Every structure is written in C-alpha cells, then in structure tokens.
Amino acid sequence: MDLSRYDACMDQFRQTILFTDVDGRARFREQMIVLDQGTPQSRLSELMQSGGFQLRQSPVGFRSEFHVSPHTQWVFILQGQMEIGLQDGSSRTFGPGEHFYSADLLPAGAIFDPQVHGHWSRQCGAVPLVTLFVRG
C-alpha cells in the first residue's frame, strides 16, 4: 500500500481523481479528504453516499480502448496492477491497496471522440487484475 497517500498526522486522506478537464481531456489531480470524524485512534471521513458496487476480474493481457467513465466511481485495486493512460501519453499505475476516483465523464453535449476524450486501462504483470468499483 502506498502510505504517501496518507498525511503523517492521519488527519487527511489523499484522493487521486481522474477527471475531464475544461478542454474535454482526461487528467489526474489530487485533493485531500479531511478525517475529522471518529476517535483519535480511528480517524474517519464524513459518510459518503454510494450507488452500489461491482467486482471485476480482468485477465492477463487485458487492455481497453479509449473510453469515458459511465458514472463517477471509486476504483480500488484488490489484486494485480492497473495502468490508466491519458490522451497526452502519460499514464499512472495502481497496485493492490491503491485507488482512484474516476470522474472522467463525457462533457455535456459532447459526442465521444476517441482522439480527444477518455482514458484507456490495462492489466499489468503476471497476475490477473481484480478491482472493486463503488459508484459515486
């Protein structure tokens, strides 16, 4: 697990967000979620709503085409590694215990253009990818 995602004093949680920028292209950004609930020994964020969850297994060699997320969702990597690639050629890889919040939605009124919109994802390494999707 990447402990750099947690503030040293444990009062904040670093959320990685995949989002659609004003130019319609997918980008990553970070924001902090305050952990101001619970007890000093067990810091919690405020309760967040969700619309259900799905588990997915992707075989070794899986790679998607460019696509946008159908809805906002947290993506938690349970097994294997998932690489997310953007239109600008950059990518990020997430491993077991890591996550990102996918808000890479098609801009209102836009028609999907795989040369502009979205991201691709792929399984990396010799272990199948297992992910948990929690709808936002």
How confident is the model at residue 110, as a pLDDT? 95
Query: Mean pLDDT in the chain?
Result: 92
**What domains are there in the chain, each with its CATH number?**
3-135 (2.60.120.10)
d(CA 123, CA 61): 6
pTM of the model: 0.87
Task: Give me the sheet containing 53-58, strands edge to edge.
Answer: 26-34, 12-20, 99-103, 73-79, 129-135, 53-58
Task: Give me the sheet containing 81-86, strands edge to edge.
Answer: 91-94, 81-86, 119-124
How confident is the model at residue 6, as a pLDDT? 46
Three-state SS at 85: strand
How confident is the model at residue 113, as a pLDDT? 96
Cβ-Cβ contacts under 8 Å for 117 (sequence gap 6 or more):
20, 24, 25, 26, 66, 68, 87, 106, 107, 110
How confident is the model at residue 9, as a pLDDT? 54
How confident is the model at residue 40, as a pLDDT? 87
Low-confidence spans in the chain with pLDDT less than 50: 1-8
For the segment 7-23, what is each residue's pLDDT rounded down to a tens digit?
Answer: 445 689 999 999 999 99
How confident is the model at residue 24, as a pLDDT? 95
For the segment 25-38, what is each residue's pLDDT rounded down to a tens digit?
Answer: 999 999 999 999 99
